[in-house]
Amino acid sequence: MTGSLCRKGEACTEKQKMAVKKTEGPLVVVAGPGAGKTRVLVERVAYLVKRRGVSPENILVITFTEKAAGELKARLIKCVGLDAELMQISTIHSFCSKVLRDHPEEHELGGGFEILDEESQLIFLRTVFYKIGLNRYMKMGEVHRAIEFFNRCTENCIEPGELIDALRRKYPDREKYQGIAGCYARYLELLREQKKIDFPGLEKEVYLLLNSSERVLESVRKRYRYIMIDEYQDTSPIQELIFRKIAGKNSSICVVGDEDQSIYGFRGATPENFIRFREEYDAEVVTLEDNFRSRAGIVLTADSFMRGERHYEKTIKPVRDGGTDVVILKSRDVNSEARNIVSLIKKLKATGKIPEYGYIALLFRSVRNHADKVLAELRREGIPYIVRGDGSFLKRYEVRSMLYFLAYVDPPDYGGKFSKWNGWWNISRFRGEFLDLTGETLRALESLDRNCRLSDFTSRGELEEIGVHGEDAEKILGLNRIRHEVGEGSLTVLKTFYRILEVTGYLRRLIEDGSDSSRAKIFNLAKLSSLIDRYEAIKPGARIQDLLWYLYLLPSHLHHDEAALEDPASVKIMTVHQAKGLEFPVVFICSVINGRFPVKRRKGRDIIPIPRELLLSPGEVPDEDRQA
């Protein structure tokens, strides 16, 4: 064991020390689960700065998520101080953005471009849906399928012209294929015209720039002499090409990953990049096999399960003794599975195996589609839980109420297409805490003729005549005044949102209450305001009905989760993907049914097939004529 550079009194294992001190030339760190790979990255950066005297500005660390980048930078600040701020520690997309902004004169975008993340890209494509002609080939609600296709084309550096030519040769009778390829061309044109770029476009532009400009390539190579890439098993072919181009033949590049943990194939990632790295770079390999996280039963079971499927030889060894073997709960059907799971949870708590329900995590392939029976059983038994991954944001009372009152002040006409949203246009929405009307007012409203339009009331006298008085009358009049202002075009959607909160007093009452439940509602309203702000930024001049239409057609994978305050006494429920990198004392992997674990890959997901000769394979360099 060797002393840590960042934590006094702690030590690194011999294998960790090897990974830290091998700073020249290519290196593969095969890091099994719980093997301390983040610690190795922190110690390695600290070693470069403190022992080797490397300038922080010469260090590039790529992580898979912004959260991981933030956590890594926070740990490095504690270890090396503010020198960590001079390093490039970011996702691949943030890195690509920096390269483009550092060299604005070398590409068409210049320095003032806007980056569209996944949700912003969807908003943008919806706004240009008719302009690029997609309406001839699909419905608005299918736009996310066009995005998947467009992104795949961009990630493979496929130019629209060559795509159309290849489709014409291979499918001469499929005019739809060529038409959608034409929509892709117009989509790219509009992005360029409006100085916007999506995530795949960032990667493509940087890769082409590095190939077309020797000056930019040398500048990037000179600056980032020490490169470290986390989660390399989840990189895509074009990302691997970017890293290979930057690294060159003589730089120090270290990739950290584990082929066992490759879970992002649906996003175009491939573990082949990680598997081939050793041969491609003639790299040294350091394998971290000690698992510090789980007890022996779990580690040995997982290792046995994966053995025989690996290209890098390793045997995961538990550092912690004791623990129990993995328990298999066999059930007849999903109903009995739910009962068995909850019964065991209760037993663990009753026997003192766990002090709180919060020690337990339930993981699903899809919370939205597979967790309903277990959630119902937890509720029946009175066991508290917190859910992530169920896309429940739009189902929250405070969110639905706000959207209703947005529609009240600017009534949309969608020909009954909002029938799924449980009859929002009913006076019953005036009940409840959002308006907090008195019982007397509610009885007065309920006694109104069904054809009476509440929005026609413009004075306190008119409302007092029907039995609505005081603050309640002011709330209704305030909503009607907002309705008038919206009709005149003097309010944006976001301003309307804030005016409704002001007139109803709902936000003030939540703040005054201060309970965890009220705080969660405030967070959800804040999330809705942020969503509205982003929508209006992409679509200036948007109306309320545009926003409602967007939310109505939002694809399920982009549904937001509701805000949930952390509660140590509640069972944690989430997807397997969301649990990556987290730790829990007791974990249930639920709904392990054939076709879900492992999931069956659906064939033919692309709206049109992309000819194989146009696709980038791992390690394949595009033809020169595809870089123009």
For the stretch 86-117, pLDDT in tens is 999 999 999 999 999 999 999 999 888 999 99
Give which of 259, 199, 567, 172 is closest to 385, Cα–Cα: 567
Q: What is the pLDDT of residue 449?
A: 79
What residues have CB less than 8 Å from 74, skipping those under 6 apart? none
Residue 79 has pLDDT above 70, yes or no: yes
C-alpha radius of gyration, the chain, whole number: 28
Question: How many CB atoms sit inside 10 A of residue 70's CB?
Answer: 13
Span 196-223, average pLDDT: 96
Degrees, nearest 5: CA angle 556-431-408: 60
Phi/psi of residue 515, each to 5°? -75, 165
Question: How many CB atoms sit inside 10 A of residue 183's CB?
Answer: 24
Q: Which residue has the tokens 């496929």?
A: 158
Q: What is the pLDDT of residue 223?
A: 94
Span 110-129, average pLDDT: 93
**Does residue 120 or residue 35 have the better pLDDT?**
120
**Does residue 1 or residue 447 have the better pLDDT?**
447
Q: What is the pLDDT of residue 389?
A: 77
From CA 194, how far away is CA 352, in angstroms rounded? 61
Q: What is the pLDDT of residue 557?
A: 74
Domains of the chain: 14-103+204-286 (3.40.50.300), 114-194 (no CATH), 289-326 (no CATH), 328-390+561-618 (3.40.50.300), 394-553 (1.10.486)
Percent of the chain residues past pLDDT 70, beyond the cut: 91
Amino acid at 258: D
End-to-end CA distance of the chain: 53
Residue 263 has pLDDT above 80, yes or no: no
Q: In this structure, are strands 586-589 and 385-387 parallel, antiparallel, or unpaired?
A: unpaired
Q: In this structure, are strands 252-257 and 317-320 parallel, antiparallel, or unpaired?
A: unpaired
Q: What are the tokens at 8?
A: 């006094």
Q: How many residues does the chain have?
A: 628
- The 10s digit of each residue's pLDDT in 149-159 is 999 999 999 99
Give which of 472, 476, 463 is closest to 438, Cα–Cα: 472
- The 10s digit of each residue's pLDDT in 322-372 is 766 788 899 999 999 999 999 999 999 999 999 999 999 999 988 988 999
- Cβ–Cβ < 8 Å for 176, 608: yes
Q: What pLDDT band is residue 299 in, cutting at 50, 70 and 90?
A: confident
